[in-house]
Structure 1
């Protein structure tokens, strides 16, 4: 057994999910209420001795398949319409995804991580959702579970494993989409996962959105906890 996987070992990473201009008020095209408000708490976490600190960001082409503008009316209304997309690795499979406003297009301000985040403390940035034909909420894989260099610039699971990471702490936007999917995939990859609830903002903060996401994560063995909880105290004690 590798030392990093030995019973009782603790080598934590922090993943800061998609705290980008287009997901934050006042000008974001897909702004999530209170998105900027979590920046101070994120910076506090970034000051802790996590073994690896990762930021993620949507980094879409202009004609991404999830954008309303990529489809013909009337079934192209953001937040109302959906589209069924095929699995690029298995065309017999398909999945329905929501239609969104154009957001986080590579090379635009909207794709930038907000300046309130102390990026000097970030070790690497995962740029995801680059394949125009497939949706990618998680920073580990697309909605079909595929990993592809066309969709993301870093194989995050391999990177974390190479660094001996055992535990993953997740914060950011949006709790009911990219945070949830990142957490579920991290668990599938074999990591212990903690989602820090007060450092999360969701598209739908109610029971049908964030509430349902929490239940799904809990069933997968993910711990929903707080930034002041014993798990974060354990990180502090590494210093």
Structure 2
């Protein structure tokens, strides 16, 4: 397949950024200038994703009884609503990116004028959905966005992933992009993690499945030379 790249910008939203985000990733806003530079490149498709939760979402600590409802600390087991034998362990979070709130909005400094599609995720209150493609359940899958279709319909060969957070939604989006059959790259300088110490483990997961971490200079060279 001919090289035809897409840029996927994951969850660059107010609630994931200082100073007021309820689940602020340290330095979350600092990556926007780099993302805006990447947006100036001739990617075939440019897509931004958004966490877009209902107020009663299962990942919110506030929706669980004490004592197992401490944001960032408590873990719960989520059962597949259509197959209780399939389960996922997940961390509980502060309320974040609730539909219709300021926290769910993309950052105003992000150059949205360059973005062709916005993909919303995390609508289903019953399941966690870090990946912008789908929730983690497979037997059956419960919630799926139109991201794979957007990329396939545009005949995309390579997906470049940036955004927040490097150890959660960026990671699972990149892994799923590779699983969907796209050659997948994560632009290191254009992501930030919740926990810096998690990144070596994230990169190990990438290596196992063929996701590559790339520098912005290499992205500029590669995308421009194929334009």
Scaled by the length of structure 2, what TM-score is found?
0.96
Counterpart CA distance in 2 for 1:169 and 1:103 is 25
- In structure 2, what is the equivalent of residue 232 of structure 1? 220
* Residue 95, structure 1, aligned to residue 88, structure 2: yes
- In structure 1, what is the equivalent of residue 123 of structure 2? 130
- In structure 2, what is the equivalent of residue 19 of structure 1? 12
**SS of the counterpart of 2:88?**
strand
Q: Is the 8 A contact 1:218 1:224 kept in 2?
A: no
Counterpart CA distance in 1 for 2:25 and 2:50 is 15
- RMSD over aligned CA atoms reads 1.2
4+ long deviations beyond 3 Å: 145-148
How many pairs are equivalent? 226
Counterpart CA distance in 1 for 2:181 and 2:45 is 17
Counterpart CA distance in 1 for 2:208 and 2:34 is 27
Q: Is the 8 A contact 2:56 2:125 kept in 1?
A: yes
* Aligned with 1:167 (options 130, 140, 158): 158
Unaligned stretches of 5+ residues in structure 2: none
Counterpart CA distance in 2 for 1:235 and 1:121 is 16
Counterpart CA distance in 1 for 2:169 and 2:193 is 9
1:90: how far off? 1.9
* Aligned with 1:144 (options 137, 148, 173): 137
* Aligned with 2:203 (options 194, 214, 231): 214
1:147: how far off? 5.0
- In structure 2, what is the equivalent of residue 74 of structure 1? 67
